[in-house]
Amino acid sequence: MWVTVFVGVAHCGAGCVLGDVVGEWLVHGTNATINGQMIWPCLLVDYAFALLFGVAFQYFSIAPMSGEYGIKTVWRAAKADILSLTSFEVGAFAWMIIYQVGIFNYKLEMTTWTYWWLMQMGMNLGYATAVPMNWWLLTKGIKEPCC
């Protein structure tokens, strides 16, 4: 069961990481801010892209296994991935807020190595916070095993 959970979290994490990378560069490129800070639109845009990629990844995992394509499978994918992805982003976003607001006082630029190294730490924390949710989703049959 542990291997199944860890693979499921990695699957969810792929959508989160891709969404976070795309979202970060989109916010940086548009210079979007809320209250004069980029971190807040980053969190919103990162989450939206993570959901988009996560549900798509989940859909293309579920559909071939079930042989069902269409809106019903999109709903199954969304149901499986929204809770998993949100639990992943709780850990990642908490760390982003800690280092951006608490440690660097909004001054760490996203174009630095330090920023992306800290983002990797956030992804590891996200992985840790997603494990219990994925365990629950798999035991309840809401999420399909990936292996």
- pLDDT tens digits, one per residue of 79-125: 878 998 999 999 999 999 999 999 999 999 999 999 999 999 999 99
pLDDT band for position 6 (50/70/90)? confident
What domain range is 18 assigned to?
Answer: 2-139
Domain total of the chain: 1
Q: Which residues contact 95 (CB under 8 A, 6 or more apart)?
A: 118, 121, 122, 125, 126
Q: What is the CA radius of gyration of the chain?
A: 16
| Cα 106–chain centre separation | 22
Rounded-to-integer distance, Cα 99 and Cα 85, Å: 21
Residue 70 lies in a domain: yes
Give the residue-averaged pLDDT of 42-52: 95
Q: Is residue 146 part of a domain?
A: no
Q: Is residue 109 part of a domain?
A: yes
